[in-house]
Structure formats: C-alpha cells, structure tokens
Amino acid sequence: MGVTAVLALPLLLLGISGLLFIYQEVSRLWSKSAVQNKVVVITDAISGLGKECARVFHTGGARLVLCGKNWEQLEDLYDALISVADPSKTFTPKLVFLDLADISCVQDVAKEALGCYGCVDILVHNASVKVKGPADKISLELDRRIMDANYFGPITLTKVLLPNMISRRTGQIVLVNNIQGKLGVPFRTAYAASKHAALGFFDCLRAEVEEYDVVVSTVSPTFIRSSNVLPGRGGWQASICKFFSRKLTYGAHPVDVAEEVMRTVRRKKQEVFMANPVPKAAVYLRTFFPEFFFAVVACGVKERLSVPEEG
C-alpha cells in the first residue's frame, strides 16, 4: 500500500503537469485563431504595455495598426516585431503617428488608420497620460490636457471607427483603464476624473452597440510603476493608510496585462478587474462603506505635494 502511494504521487503530478501543458497550448492556439487576420488598432503602442500588446497580437497573426506619438520609437517597435516574427504567419505592421491629446488631428488620423485595411476589427485603447499633485496646484490647462488624452481622444477615435464596426455588425473595443476609474486616490484628481469619465462612456456604449454584435470590454489593472505619498510615523490611522497605499500601488506587469487583453478579446469578456485582494476590498468598501473608506484615505493626506512633471 505504501509503495503504491509513493509511485502514484509522481504519476499524479506528471498527469496534472501534462493537463496544464495541454490547456496552455490549446489556449495559445485558441488565442491565435481569435485574432488571426483580424485588423487590430493599438494606441500608444510604444509604451511598455503597448509593446506587449503588439507582441501578442502580432504573434497571433493579426494585421496590426500601431499608433504612437514618437515616430522613431514606432519604427523601433516595428523592427523588433519583424525581427522575431515568421513572415509566413504574420503581417507587416502599419505605423500611424497619433497623439490623442491633440484632438484637432484625431479624426483625420483615425480615418488614416481605417484606410490601412479598409476596416477595423479590434480597437485597443491603451494610451494614457498621468499627473500627480494637489488639485489647487494643477492648472486648468493641464486638467484639460489630461481629459483630452484620456477621455476626449479615445472617444473621438471610437466615434470615427465605430460606424464601420456597426455596418459590418462585428468588432470589439477594448479600453485598458485603471483602478481609478472605480475609486479616487488623493493627488490624482485630473487623472481619476478622466478614468471615471472613460469608464462611464464605454459602459454606456456597451449597451448601445450590443444589438450590432459589437463588443465593448474594459480591462482595469491597478497602478503600474506609480508612486504614492505615504504618511510618516503616526497612529493606527497612518499605519492603515500606509498599508492600503502600498497595496493599491502594486501594479500588474505589462506582460500579464497584455495577455489578459488577449484573453478578453478571445472570450469577449465585458469587464476585467486585475487586482489583488486589497484593491478589490477597497472598491468594495468604497461602494458599501463609503464613510469608512473616505476616513482611511483622508488619514494619509498629511503632506502637500508639489506638482511633479507629467509621466
């Protein structure tokens, strides 16, 4: 009996490993089939997350339209994708210069992106501009620029490309948002406002276009490589705030987010919230126990910040 148990355990582990390998391979092939030959537009493709999204979609055989506001970096990304790709299984990416903060040019650039292949199957909104500082120290001009880049730019691009999806009765729009579309953190008023606005727009749009078989998805990770002001030494309130602040700022890796975007496209999921238990608990507290949540957040606001440069 003991010998049988000893022999059964390695076989069981081997069997589980084999099943996991098969599952991963099937998922990988399924992901490829979901985007193969599809026209995919990715904004801010030169960012860390944008590059990873470009990589997974390019590997999957998508026809990429990569958008960014730095032409040299776009060309570098193009070279990197081409150098590792199998030309018999992938398409040469198209490059489009796009600065979503420049609203006056977004419509024309959107038409250029649409003209690359005559249609768009998947639109991935990845571009985002961040700013941190006290509300009274951030100019209205900077507030407007944040709203242009994070809200008006994406919805302008969407409004130009959406009629094509509706007329073809197919398509998917993926908004890569942020936890601040669900709750606000001090010293990020403009950024949180833009993320709330974007999430509200695409939540409404989801219901409007469902009858045309157009899918609207939102992927909301926690902060990625951002920093918060942590309170100094103090009482239990400061300790709680410091704990929440550290946990809320623990961001997902760009590779993980890109893979989640691919899964969202493949499964046509409507909403994904990428977070560890503490940010999820914070959203729960904000919804059901707002006074407690506000007290925890406010206890950490002990210092005034100078307005840092845009990141």
Q: What is the DSSP string of 233-254?
A: S-SHHHHHHHHHHHHHT-PPPH
**pLDDT for the residue numbered 183:** 87
Q: How far apart are CA 223 and CA 176, in angstroms?
A: 12
pLDDT in tens, 12-21: 667 776 665 5
Residue 230 has pLDDT above 50, yes or no: no
Residue 233 has pLDDT above 50, yes or no: no
Q: What is the predicted pLDDT for the residue at 211?
A: 97
Supply the pTM of this predicted model: 0.80
Indicate if the pLDDT at residue 150 is higher than 60. Answer: yes
Distance CA 151, CA 145 (A): 10
For residue 192, give Cα distances in angstroms to 149, 161, 199, 239: 13, 26, 11, 24
Per-residue confidence (pLDDT) for residue 4, from 0 to 100: 66
Helix (H) or strand (E) holding 45: none
* CA distance readout (Å), 43 to 75, 126, 174: 15, 5, 11
266: its two tokens = 């493949």
The pLDDT confidence band at residue 234, using thresholds 50, 70 and 90, is: very low
Beta-carbon count within 10 A of 34 CB:
19
DSSP H or E run through 127: none
Torsion of CA 37, 39, 40, 43, to 10 degrees: 150
Other C-beta atoms lying within 10 Å of the C-beta of residue 252: 18
Residue 191 CA from chain centroid, whole number: 14
The residue among 114 and 33 whose pLDDT is bigger is 114
pLDDT for 145 equals: 94
Q: What is the pLDDT of residue 51?
A: 95
Q: What pLDDT, on a 0 to 100 scale, did the predictor assign at position 306?
A: 42
Among 27-36, 83-92, 144-153, 160-169, the least confident range = 27-36
Least confident of 106-120, 261-275, 287-301: 287-301
CA 137 to chain centre: 28
pLDDT of 228 above 90: no
Active site positions, annotated:
191
Report the share of the chain in percent with pLDDT over 70: 77
Mean pLDDT of 242-251: 53
- Go through 259-274 and write b for each residue having 16 or more CB atoms within 10 A of its CB, e for each that does not: bbbbbbbbeeeebbbb
Beta bridge mates, 274: 221
| Three-state DSSP class for residue 122 | strand
Q: Which helix (H) or strand (E) holds 169?
A: none
- Model confidence at 249: pLDDT above 70: no
Higher pLDDT, 226 or 262: 262
